[in-house]
Amino acid sequence: MATRLLQSSSRLCVTFPLMNKRICKPLCQQLKFSQGSNGGNVKVPKIYTKTGDKGTSVTIAGDRRPKDDDIFEALGTTDELSSAIGLAREFCVEANIDIDMQLEEIQCVLQDAGSCIATPKNLASQNQISLTQFDASSVDTLENWIDDCTHQLPPLKNFILPSGGKASSCLHLARSICRRAERRLVPLVESQQLDPKVARYFNRLSDFLFTVARYAALSEGREETIYRKIRPSKDKTK
């Protein structure tokens, strides 16, 4: 998931999520590669840098922080969310549920969100901020998808539990991880390190995942489990 930028001034390796081609291509050209075992021109990048062995990592702005810093907590949870969506995609493909294109696009947008999260606005240069700026139109896209999908679903009259088959249940799992990721973004927005548009996207994404989880259950002809109040049975022996 990561690309390493070698800063020529300090020779410091910075790890951050993949960004768009405007950034990724020139950064990749700065990587150190080891020569192939055949002595030819094969260039093989090392996946490890050892720079985080002491429990710290670096933002795109260049400041080194503990790995449990709010930024890296948010990045890690975003990565976890993308992994959960990837798993849900596989189940959706197996069940011929036609939402793979949307889920793939969301995973790509999450990469962009990660780039923005890794660029604290209070420390990054204006150029870094502009290169990792989050596209607010992604929120509009989610809302349109939610509206289109909702029209195909029966009205929601009860609380439902995560259920409705493997695809639906995995989408519910992704939804709950998305909610946690959103909570991780709150302190970054409040401290003005993060563009609020990113948090708004995660908020809308959890709504989308809930909606398509119901759609997945409907597509497979699976029933959703309705919440019911569990009342302790009375022990008649006493």
Res. 32 pLDDT band, cuts 50 70 90:
very low
Counts for the chain of helices (H) and strands (E), in that order: 7, 8
Give the angle 191-193-197 at the CA atoms, nearest 5°: 105
pLDDT given at position 160? 94
Which residue did the predictor score with more confidence, 128 or 16? 128
Q: Do residues 94 and 50 make contact, with C-beta atoms less than 8 angstroms apart?
A: no
* CATH 1.20.1200.10 given to domain 70-226: yes
Residue from 171, 22, 39, 17 nearest 92 by CA: 171
232 burial level (CB within 10 Å; 0-12, 13-18, 19+): exposed
- Whether the predicted pLDDT of 15 surpasses 70: no
pLDDT given at position 2? 38
Q: Domain limits of the chain?
A: 70-226
Residue from 98, 82, 75 nearest 67 by CA: 75
DSSP summary character for residue 171:
H
141 Cβ contact list (under 8 Å, min separation 6): 105
CA distance from start to end of the chain? 61
Q: Which of these ranges, 40-44, 63-67, 84-88, 173-177, has the smallest mean pLDDT?
A: 40-44
Residue from 56, 59, 32, 60 nearest 46 by CA: 32
Report strand pairing: 34-35 vs 43-44.
antiparallel
- Whether the predicted pLDDT of 47 surpasses 60: yes
pLDDT given at position 25? 44
pLDDT given at position 11? 29
